[in-house]
């Protein structure tokens, strides 16, 4: 955790889509990000517990249940709110259609400063209702219609977001 003179570095992941036998088979960029993190947020579609175990070797992990996480049903919550460095962060996997997303997420997490979500594999880093930050890191393993795979980083300090960045995953 941060000291008074240091920000909290948060690795943000979603949609890793790895089964137990491939839990260690994440892109190098993911390990670079989590190695430097104070905390890890995973917005679902983890698929199996060993992926969370691999991530937890680097920093504490907060995660929510994704639609492909059947083996984690009853283990992970569908929604979660945590406070990190004075910033209230809501988490959910599926935010629904883009139309009405900001209002829907604000209704889910009216007190959150940031809402982290996944599911679409589409990176998202925009202000929502009342300035609430809506943040989807995309997917580090499946780009789908996106030009590249992506991960996210938040830097938090004293109740404020200092940085919110979606980073491309460079093939190694």
In whole angstroms, give the CA distance from residue 157 to residue 168. 24
Fold of 8-168: Purple Acid Phosphatase; chain A, domain 2 (3.60.21)
Q: How far is CA 133 from CA 3, 13, 61, 104, 106, in A?
A: 24, 16, 20, 13, 10
Give residue-wise pLDDT tens across range 47-105.
Answer: 999 999 999 999 999 999 999 999 999 999 999 999 999 999 999 999 999 999 999 99
Domain ranges for the chain:
8-168
Residue linked to tokens 């200092």: 162
Q: By three-state DSSP, how is residue 50 classified?
A: helix
For the beta carbon of residue 97, count every other beta carbon within 10 angstroms. 9
Residue 172 pLDDT > 70, yes or no?
Answer: no
Write b or e for each residue in 156-166: b if 16 or more Cβ atoms lie within 10 A of its Cβ, otherwise e.
bbeeebeebeb
């Amino acid at each position: 955790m941060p000291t008074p003179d240091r920000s909290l570095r948060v690795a943000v992941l979603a949609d890793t889509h790895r089964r137990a036998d491939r839990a260690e088979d994440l892109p190098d960029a993911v390990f670079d990000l989590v190695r430097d993190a104070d905390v890890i947020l995973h917005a679902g579609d983890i698929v199996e517990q060993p992926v969370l175990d691999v991530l937890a070797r680097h920093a504490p992990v907060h995660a929510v249940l994704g639609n492909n996480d059947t083996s984690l049903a009853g283990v992970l919550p569908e929604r979660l709110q945590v406070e990190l460095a004075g910033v209230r962060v809501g988490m959910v996997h599926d935010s629904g259609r883009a139309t009405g997303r900001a209002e829907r997420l604000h209704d889910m997490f009216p007190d959150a400063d940031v809402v982290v979500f996944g599911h679409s594999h589409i990176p998202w880093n925009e202000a929502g209702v009342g300035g609430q930050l809506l943040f989807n890191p995309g997917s580090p393993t499946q780009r789908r219609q996106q030009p590249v795979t992506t991960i996210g980083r938040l830097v938090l300090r004293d109740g404020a977001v200092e940085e919110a960045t979606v980073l491309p995953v460079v093939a190694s």
